[in-house]
Amino acid sequence: MRAVVVRKVGGPEVIEVLEVPTPEPGPLQVRIKVVAAALNPADAAVWAGFFGSLDGMEHAGLGLDAAGTIEAIGPGVLLEVGTAVIAFDAAVLRPTKAQAEFLVVDLNSLAPAPEGMDPTLAATIPLNAMTASQALDHLPLRPRDTLLVTGAAGAVGGFAVELARTRGVRIVAQGRNEDQQFLRDRGATWFVSRDEELVLSNENGKLRLAAVKRP
């Protein structure tokens, strides 16, 4: 199979496409025929050596998340071949990863692909959604709490708005003026333009957030 890899640390110029053996799924693993794979800052960190030296590795694959269909299953897997899925390949330094014709991942790294969604869009879900979810998990949020999400129409911010709303949290979403309807459709309670300055004040022991037009 073809796979996107790097064999040395450097810039984008070190990226190569190689012919490598097709991986076989082990117990509780599946092999996905990749239709689309995302490109993330973490991939740049791999080829730049941020996650460590590539010494001792013939090559390191790129790509953390992908969309495709199950092409083969390992022992203990009850899913059907041909099922559309999205996957998150959390291991950073592996010989091949999501940017390849085939990807082998553990069963707990899969989710059903959103029905009817273009695989190119579906491949952007795993890392962005997990980042938003994990960030929210670190906040002591309760229903009816208010949360400010800046960059709310971005890849991570959009998921943060939707996921926080499912937890009963009220959202102040900050974004571009043209994103207002999009954010309200995602569940934002209030919208603030990024062209406005956010000012936090304390009035009689109560915190108050106000938007002020920039001069």
Structure-token match 């999205």, residue found: 86
CA distances 127 to 155, 159, 215, Å, are 10, 11, 38
- For the domain spanning 126-213, the CATH number is 3.40.50.720
Q: Domain limits of the chain?
A: 2-122, 126-213
Give 177's pLDDT tier (boundaries 50, 70, 90): very high
The architecture in CATH of the region 2-122 reads Alpha-Beta Complex (3.90)
pLDDT beyond 80 at 66: yes
Domains 2-122 and 126-213 share a fold: no
pLDDT digits (tens, 9 = 90+) for 95-132: 999 999 999 999 999 999 999 999 999 999 999 999 99
- pLDDT over 90 percentage in the chain: 80
Mark 13-52 as b/e (b = at least 16 C-beta within 10 Å). Answer: eebeebebeebebeeebbbbbbbbbbbbebbeebbeeeee
